[in-house]
Amino acid sequence: DGGITQSPKYLFRKEGQNVTLSCEQNLNHDAMYWYRQDPGQGLRLIYYSQIVNDFQKGDIAEGYSVSREKKESFPLTVTSAQKNPTAFYLCASSIAWGGDGYNEQFFGPGTRLTVL
Amino acid sequence: SQQGEEDPQALSIQEGENATMNCSYKTSINNLQWYRQNSGRGLVHLILIRSNEREKHSGRLRVTLDTSKKSSSLLITASRAADTASYFCATVTRGNNRKLIWGLGTSLAVNP
């Protein structure tokens, strides 16, 4: 089955700890994204990557870091510098954009992070 | 930054009725997309409408786009309880097609 997987589904972290969220896709997509969603809110872009070994900051990158060493994988690290990390984190991927703009994004099931 | 604003924020209807959700945006766009999110899950792409299109259908979904008013609507006909979800619009801005700009969503409840 083709798709995007995120693990774990639920994650608990103590204050002051870094934690890494996994995102893997087997859709052969070039572009990958990390979003944060807070209750009753839309999606806010943390980081995105158009191609292996390249990534760009989104709207709320502070306190987060990413890597893109393989096309299939785009892990997100939530560092202790992120002041309010409790949220639902969504990973997505898409084919690199076509001539008239972006193609649709495919989402993973999400990881709910709670800081204790 | 959020560009789209969905209206209404919440909608509750009976099974079999039609549901209409609206989305307004601020800048010129390449395309506008609608997504559905079931509670606690990832988003699922529903339909994409390009800036030179005015209407698009997919099964029980009908999307319209009015670029002069910078607005779009999503109509779900003959709704079912399984349509209960949040619905988001997202735009690809002309001149910056590297990312989607998301609205805050409409929460739809379809009562059996």
- Quick: pLDDT tens for A50-102: 899 999 999 999 999 999 999 999 999 999 888 899 999 999 999 876 555 56
Cβ-count burial B62-80 (b if 16+ within 10 Å, e if not)? bbbbeeeebbbbbebeebe
Per-residue pLDDT, averaged over A3-16, amounts to 93
DSSP track, A4-59: EEEE-SEEEE-TT--EEEEEEE-S--SEEEEEEE-TT--EEEEEEEEETTEEEE-S
pLDDT at B25 over 60: yes
Residues 65-94 of A with CB under 8 A from B: 88, 90, 92
- Write the CB contacts of A90 (distance below 8 Å, at least 6 apart in sequence): A6, A34, A35, A36, A37, A43, A107, A108, A110, B42, B43
Chain B nearest C-alpha distance from A62 (Å): 15
In order of A73, B12, B13, the CA distances from B19 in angstroms are: 38, 9, 7
Average pLDDT, integer, range A27-49: 92
Q: How does pLDDT run across B70-99, given as a tens digit for each residue? A: 999 999 999 999 999 999 999 988 776 667
- Please indicate whether, in this complex, the C-beta atoms of B42 and A90 are within 8 angstroms of each other: yes
pLDDT at A41: 78
Closest approach of chain A CAs to the CA of B53, in angstroms?
13
Higher-confidence position of B40 and B34: B34
Query: Which pLDDT value is given to residue B101?
Result: 87
For B31, the closest chain A residue by CA position comes to: A101
CA separation for the pair A58, A82 (Å, rounded)? 15
- pLDDT at position B35 over 90: yes
Of the candidates A56, A88, A105, which has its C-beta nearest B45's C-beta?
A105
